Chain A
Amino acid sequence: MSGIHGIQISKSYRHYQVLKEVSFEVAPGICFALFGPNGAGKTTLLKILATLQRPSSGRFEMMGHDGIRDRDRIRNFLVMIAHGSYLYSELDAVENIRFELSLRGRTPDIQEIKGALDRVGIGAFSDFKIRDFSEGMKKRLAIAKALLIRPRVLLMDEPYSSLDEKGMTIMNQFIRDSTGQGAAVLMTTHNRAQSAEVAHQAGVLQQGVLRKFDIKDLAAGHELF
């Protein structure tokens, strides 16, 4: 059973075709790093996989479930870390996590939440409202949220953006832990150095077409696109 399986996914906005029959497979325990120039369709692909948009044609499966027909089911084991922090400004860090976990039918334990915040280095800000958080702190809070949800599929759009060096280390540790526990991870990124530390597979999305390349090229510094 594959973690994420894209089958000839195409997406068009009016006459512009963003994705052209993109097919790929990310097995459980694997991190796939997706590169590509701005406007290549990376975020569109993630939004389709996150059930936020529908493909114009093609389909995808997650953990063996059809991504469109069974979207309610796949939402149970899917987490996306994106540019938007998905956090409510007037709630504090603990309240935001409690809200998220509660919507997922979990009964959150405050100590468990504070433990996750400590792990990502923002435990001291647990009762601070999100409106007072920097972008980097919001990203760390998103990691803490995902740590507690323990998703089987993790989608990440530019996971290293806004993070300082320590934050990037935390992010990579989180990705390693997630793949170690069998999660399928698909991330879009421009950060070759950081992603080379955790990615098992890599590809470039350019003009709507996905091309895989050898993971060794990621660290080697060859021109990707």
Chain B
Amino acid sequence: MNFFNAIRWIAWKDLISEMRSRENISSMFFFALIVILIFSFSFSMDQQSARELMPGIMWVAFVFTGIIGLGKSFTAELQNDCLENLQMNPVPRGAIYLGKLASNLLFITVVELILFPLFVIFFNLDVFEKIPLFMLILIAGTFGVSAVGTLFSAMTVQIRAREVMLPILLLPLIVPVMIGAVEATGSVLRGESFAFYGPWLELLIVFDLIFTIVSFWVFDFILDH
């Protein structure tokens, strides 16, 4: 089916391009690494304070890192006017959105997976038993940021001040993701039960679903206008 084929090929194209240039992932990684180092040297923390502060610091680093990657997602299409070609192609607009979302999600998640152990080391946390839960929160939070970010990346790509406009538009909208992800991460770090972190995880999943569906439907309008 052309729809799913198109998703696959767009994600494939982004993946191959990134594997060869490493432009996106390396800039995201080094930015996040610097954020971790600055925070870890700025605060001298015992394990109790680290547990309180780490979720917020980690998600701020992840979100800002994600914005760097999302910003480049559609600007890469401006080279050689490839965005025009995508617009002229008979491919469903929703497929372009989902293909881009898939590649963005993959790139951001890869960087987060590299950074997560560094957070654990620098903040001296004992989290090994809770890793599956952290991964679940990480993917749910990253999906929400990527779902909205992919749409806004397309919206701002033709704007001259796109580097400024993307975070200005995106950050207020992903406040629920930030709150949900920070609270859920903090709850798991404190060793609380599902009754505490479950509602935050549900918030993330509902946000992901709603904004993926809305972005999917409005992407046609965004790309053609």
Interface, chain A (partner B; CB < 8 A): 50-52, 71-73, 75-76, 78, 80, 82-91, 95, 99-100, 102-105, 129-130, 138
Q: Which of B79-87, B161-169, B197-205 is found at the contact surface with chain A?
A: B79-87
In the complex, chain B residues 2-47 whose Cβ is within 8 Å of any chain A Cβ: 2, 5-6, 9-10, 12-13, 16-17, 20-21
B90 within 8 A of A: yes
What residues of B have a CB within 8 angstroms of the CB of A86 in the complex? 80-82, 84-85
What residues of A have a CB within 8 angstroms of the CB of B81 in the complex? 82-86
27 A-B residue contacts at CB 8 Å?
A51-B87, A52-B84, A75-B90, A80-B84, A82-B84, A83-B81, A84-B80, A86-B80, A86-B84, A86-B85, A87-B82, A88-B80, A89-B79, A91-B13, A91-B17, A99-B12, A99-B13, A100-B89, A102-B5, A102-B9, A103-B6, A103-B90, A104-B89, A104-B91, A105-B2, A130-B80, A138-B80
What residues of B have a CB within 8 angstroms of the CB of A129 in the complex? 20
Count the A-B residue pairs with Cβ separation under 8 angstroms: how many?
74
What residues of A have a CB within 8 angstroms of the CB of B5 in the complex? 102, 105
How far apart are A128's CB and chain B's nearest CB, in angstroms? 13
B88 within 8 A of A: yes
- Say which size band chain B's interface belongs to: 20 to 34
Convert B87-102 into 0s and 1s, putting 1 for each residue whose CB lies closer than 8 angstroms to a CB of A: 1111100000000000
CA distance A82 to B2 in the complex (A): 26
CA distance A102 to B86 in the complex (A): 12
Residue of B nearest to A95 (CB): B16
Which of B16, B84, B88 is the one whose CB lies under 8 Å from A75?
Answer: B88
Which of A50, A52, A104 is the one whose CB lies under 8 Å from B90?
Answer: A104
Which of B2, B17, B224 is the one whose CB lies under 8 Å from A90?
Answer: B17
A85 touches B90 (CB 8 A): no
How far apart are A106's CB and chain B's nearest CB, in angstroms? 10
Known A-B contacts A87-B80, A89-B80, A91-B16; A76 and B85 likewise in contact (beta carbons under 8 Å): no
A90 touches B20 (CB 8 A): yes
B17 touches A88 (CB 8 A): yes
A80 touches B88 (CB 8 A): yes
B87 touches A52 (CB 8 A): yes
